Structure 1
Amino acid sequence: MKRFIRIMGVGLVSAFIATGFSAVNASRKSSPLGTHISLKATDNTRDLGGIQAKNGQHIRKYRLIRSDALNKLSAHDKWKLQKQLRVKVILDFRSKGEIHNAPDATLHGTRNNRLSVMANPNFGVHTTAQYIHELAGKQPNNMELFYQKMVTQPHSIKAYRTMFRYLLKQRSGGILYHCTYGKDRTGIATMLILSSLGIPKTTIMKNYLASNRYLKSVTNREYRQMRRHTHNRKVLANLKRSRSAKAAYLNAAYSAIYQQSGSIKHYLRSQMHLSANDIQKLRHLYLNK
């Protein structure tokens, strides 16, 4: 009898552990945030693997990685990206000026491609005095307007269209795409990629807003540094707006897309030049059950 109880006890514990692990794994698979990747030199690097599409499939692990700038990668960071995450292609959305001032660290065996989203070659390049002057002149809705530009101006559309060409070619390994903070230009890229894979808008929004969590320390540090140079309330308010991820910003991009194309589906077809076969191929390459 005691032996039977012991066996039953072990069985129950094993079942509990198995159920627990299944619940954890299921939670990870359906997480709208994907998985945060811990690197010494970045704050907002995330694997989109595990995010669930409307059809029940999930994005494959280590295939699509969003990030902030890679200019300060440590030796261990490089090893992790190359060997563990198997990153084969990097898409850099920054301007020529940003790249010149802070070029990505070299990853052996990885192709780095420059796809500047903004037409201004010196976008994001300024001295502190210039930045203060720039922030002082911005309107409260500046970020909404910025997001609308990223999905409507020809230069930006061309950059994101080229991004999809790389995604369609990459049959294995990881594609890492990034800008400076991994929030705005990378946020729009993620919205377009996830939309093409059939990810719900609510999930896309949660993934976008997660940048606030990962960039919190960076944002707070930059705000403190700016206060050492100015106490102008408009400057500080606009700095906070520019360093935040807000639903209103991404919704402004959605609104511009709807106004231009009627729907995300038509936008992907007319502006990103993705055919029905391209969409099917993307889902075959980046989704699994």
Structure 2
Amino acid sequence: MKSLRQIIDRTLLITTILTGSFMVCSAKTTSSSGSIIHFSTIPNARDLGGIQTKNGQHIRRNRLIRSAALSRLTHHDQWLLTKQHRVTVILDFRSTGEIKRAPGLRKSGVRHIHLPIMKEPYFGVHTTSRYAKQLATKQPNFMEQFYQKLILDPHCIKGYRTMFHYLRIQKSGAILYHCTYGKDRTGVATMLILSSLGVPKATIMKNYLVSNRYLKKTTAKEYRRMKRYTHSKTVLRNLKRSKRASPAYLNAAYSAIDRHDGTMKHYLHHQMRLSSHDIQQLRKRYLTK
């Protein structure tokens, strides 16, 4: 009987140690990028829960999720979304053309809201040959210009403003927002959301750059496809520029905000129309006490 007790005690001790180690490892993954959601077919899906604000609070888990497009989801993926992460609202930033080409999740109990950030109805939809022609004429700083447009264009502003409306009324469950790759339109959305919640710029930048890790395979696949079509150095160089997350891109968005409104606080107030009460409400909804 004594040896049995010793075995049980050792088992409990080992379990405690292993569990503690797992919790420590999990906590490390939420420092700036949140925690990755391991879908079968969808890259770059992350729960922002665990990200720390300037005053030491953290974003609640299963409340804010950023992602790439939710097409081709398996039954297990759908279970992860609706049951484990409790997603009840999806904001789809893609154009009408992008959605027609790759329809997103339509599931009972989940509200799908089409919120196109770009005005062009077929933005992001093109054949390889057409895309190559577009890339051949791009200037080296075209991505910086695109990020500035996301910040300054009236249609883009209206889209992100509407996003905050849904964030303010989301009392429970998770709200998931996405574009095609979860990098550019979603990256700027995340910058604005995290800024409103009081997350430092350095953390926001780290969160943004993590897309490079999770989109690595997707980017390599698209590069190989384009290289089979053309060996133009300009086209391939600009393709790489368009598919990566770069500090210069997000900094271009910050610079546009500084030039147009002076500070992020003023931009959120004047362009996103968030009052001090709205900011307090957002922080109450999405941050730990």
Q: TM-score, with normalisation over the residues of structure 1? A: 0.92
* Cα 1:108–1:130 shift into 2, 3 Å: same
Q: What residue number does 1:3 align with?
A: none
Is it true that 1:27 corresponds to 2:28 in the alignment? Answer: yes
Instruction: Encode CA deviations 1:31-75: one digit per residue, 9 max, x unaligned.
Output: 101000000120110000000001111000010000001111111
1:99 positional shift: 1.0
Q: Could you say what the CA RMSD is over the residues aligned between the two structures, in angstroms?
A: 1.9
Matched length: 281
Which amino acid letter does the alignment assign opposite residue 47 of structure 2?
D
Provide structure 2 residue ranges, at least 5 long, that are not aligned to the other structure: 1-5
Q: What residue number does 2:45 align with?
A: 45
* Cα 1:70–1:13 shift into 2, 3 Å: closer
Instruction: Encode CA deviations 1:76-101: one digit per residue, 9 max, x unaligned.
Output: 11111111111000000011111111
* Cα 1:64–1:230 shift into 2, 3 Å: same
1:105 positional shift: 2.4
Structure 2 CA distance, aligned partners of 1:239 and 1:164? 31
Which amino acid letter does the alignment assign opposite residue 142 of structure 1?
F
* Cα 1:178–1:202 shift into 2, 3 Å: same
Q: What residue number does 1:95 align with?
A: 95
Which amino acid letter does the alignment assign opposite residue 207 of structure 2?
N
Identity of aligned residues (%): 60
* Cα 1:199–1:230 shift into 2, 3 Å: same
Q: Secondary structure at 1:231's aligned position in 2? A: coil
Structure 1 CA distance, aligned partners of 2:286 and 2:267? 20
Q: Is the 8 A contact 2:46 2:65 kept in 1?
A: yes
* Cα 1:18–1:109 shift into 2, 3 Å: closer
Q: Secondary structure at 2:231's aligned position in 1? A: coil
Q: What residue number does 2:155 align with?
A: 155
Instruction: Encode CA deviations 1:124-181: one digit per residue, 9 max, x unaligned.
Output: 0111111110110111000000000000000000000000000000000000000000
Q: Is the 8 A contact 1:82 1:108 kept in 2?
A: no
Structure 1 CA distance, aligned partners of 2:151 and 2:267? 9
Q: Secondary structure at 1:89's aligned position in 2? A: strand
Is it true that 1:211 corresponds to 2:214 in the alignment? Answer: no
Q: Secondary structure at 1:69's aligned position in 2? A: coil
